[in-house]
Amino acid sequence: MESEDIEVDLGDDTLTVNPTPRSGGSSSTENTPDQPVDTVSPAVEIGDIIDSVRQSIKYIVASEGRLNVFSEIAKRLHLPCKKLILDVPTCWTNTYMMLETAIRFKEVFPRYHRVDQTFQWVVSLKQWDMVDNINQVLLGFNDVTNVVSGSDYPTTNLFLPEIRRMKEVLMIKCEDMNDYIRLMTTKMAAKFDKYWGDSNLLMSLAAIFDPRYNIKLINLFFPIIYPGAEASTHIHNVLTIPQELFELYVYTHNAFILQETTQVNASSSSSAIVRDVVPKVSLGRSRYFEHIRSSDTIRPIKTYLHVYLEEDVYISDKNENRDDMEIDFEVLACWNYNALKYRILSKMARDILAVPISTVASESSFSAGGRVIEPHRASLSIETVLMLLCDSDWMRTLYGIKRKSAGEKYIEVELPTTTTT
């Protein structure tokens, strides 16, 4: 049994591969076409190029023989990447990973075309450059996605720095020298400004109560996110809300202390018969705690909120040489640790940080696919849903079970190490 050997020009080397074993064949040399002439203009929709990449990968991974030929060419070119990724078209993060991997094989695809003439989706070098430029834009957004999905329970304080990063990327890319980049990012920036035109108070408050950021993050980032005087207005609004909220927590705390003091006094008067047994100790303790409770309700000249806002930000040694702060910083644990120093403020901070930034899974937020709601799910009451969510979280914490990704999964295909002969 013989097979048809095909020579592929690799520049300095010539590769002989055997894509499909055949009976009674004879050795022959295919005519190899040159690199396709680039006729793409900057106005061509990038979606067509992405679809060509997707179809080419789908074609190659559909057959073991094609995959063997592709792998052999990649091996002779000494390419380090050993896998191809086929995305889910409705999930742009999948598409980013597919393009990021495929671009490493940009020299393999045209050479494979010389072996397999039925392979029609050849992307030119200039088109690959367009894909690379697009991916440079998507890289920043992919990093933001990883921050959001990198934690099982991302607290709200993580998001404002990432919003600033996206805004800065869009501002830079809107001035890009390439028309297609400017066109794409201008549309993205318009949607970004429409969505984030109003300051998100919850996100801003959460950033303030992160000891790494405090008010300094607001003062630095708001002029980037919002234009001109609008930034000053938003900063003033953000600073006003914590003070009003803190006063409400102080009022609630004082009311609780007053009620507790009343109960203690009533208990003391009803237990007068005990005083003749231990009069001095009991009376001394009661007076002391009563004094502490009453003094705790006296309004200080400078509130603990002002004291916290004037403190220096927390920067660990691990973060000094990094552009981004550690996402595994336990901000809630930090406020638990400082609960004795900031009794009222710590409760307020924990209540704010406990609010999720979104009720939708991060993978679903970046997917164009729809969510399927069954009739049984739609009929659940709010109380039942809350109980199920709480039970689910408690069970995961109790048994150390990691939350499974709800996102749409791409297909990852490893290249074979040896070809079939």
Q: What is the pLDDT along the chain (421 residues), one digit of tens a residue?
A: 433 444 444 444 444 444 443 333 333 333 344 444 444 444 456 888 889 999 999 999 998 999 999 999 999 999 888 899 998 888 888 889 999 999 999 999 999 999 898 998 888 888 899 899 989 888 888 887 777 665 555 677 878 888 888 888 888 999 999 888 888 888 888 888 887 766 678 888 888 998 888 888 888 888 888 877 888 888 888 888 888 899 899 888 888 777 776 765 566 555 544 444 444 444 556 665 666 555 555 555 578 888 888 887 777 665 444 444 555 678 888 888 888 889 889 999 988 888 776 655 555 544 555 555 555 556 677 788 788 878 877 777 777 666 555 455 778 888 887 654 4
Q: Please check whether residue 405 lies inside any domain of the structure.
A: no
Q: Please check whether residue 93 lies inside any domain of the structure.
A: yes
Q: At what angle do helices 92-102 and 46-61 cross, to 10 degrees?
A: 70
Q: Please check whether residue 371 lies inside any domain of the structure.
A: no
Cβ atoms of residues 173 and 198 within 8 Å: no
Looking at the fold, whether 81 and 166 belong to one and the same domain comes out as no
Looking at the fold, whether 178 and 307 belong to one and the same domain comes out as yes
Residue 296 has a pLDDT of 55
| Amino acid sitting at position 358 | S
Query: What is the C-alpha radius of gyration for the chain, rounded to an integer number of angstroms?
Result: 32
Looking at the fold, whether 216 and 269 belong to one and the same domain comes out as yes
Q: Please check whether residue 109 lies inside any domain of the structure.
A: yes
Q: 172: domain range? A: 156-353
Estimate the share of the chain in helix, then strand, then coil, as percent rounded to the nearest 5: 60, 5, 35
Looking at the fold, whether 73 and 190 belong to one and the same domain comes out as no
Residue 15 has a pLDDT of 44
β-strands 6-9, 83-86 pairing? unpaired
Residue 73 has a pLDDT of 92
Cβ atoms of residues 405 and 363 within 8 Å: yes
Looking at the fold, whether 117 and 190 belong to one and the same domain comes out as no
Looking at the fold, whether 113 and 193 belong to one and the same domain comes out as no
Strand partners, 414: 83
Can you tell me the distance from the alpha carbon of 264 to that of 282, in angstroms, rounded to the nearest whole number? Answer: 12
Q: Which of 316, 337, 353 is the last residue of a domain?
A: 353
Can you tell me the distance from the alpha carbon of 392 to that of 400, in angstroms, rounded to the nearest whole number? Answer: 12
Looking at the fold, whether 181 and 288 belong to one and the same domain comes out as yes
Can you tell me the distance from the alpha carbon of 188 to that of 277, in angstroms, rounded to the nearest whole number? Answer: 78
Looking at the fold, whether 103 and 199 belong to one and the same domain comes out as no
How many Cα neighbours within 13 Å face the side chain of 245? 18
Q: Record the pTM.
A: 0.63
Q: Please check whether residue 402 lies inside any domain of the structure.
A: no
Residue 59 has a pLDDT of 93
Looking at the fold, whether 192 and 254 belong to one and the same domain comes out as yes
Q: Please check whether residue 393 lies inside any domain of the structure.
A: no
Domain count, the chain: 2
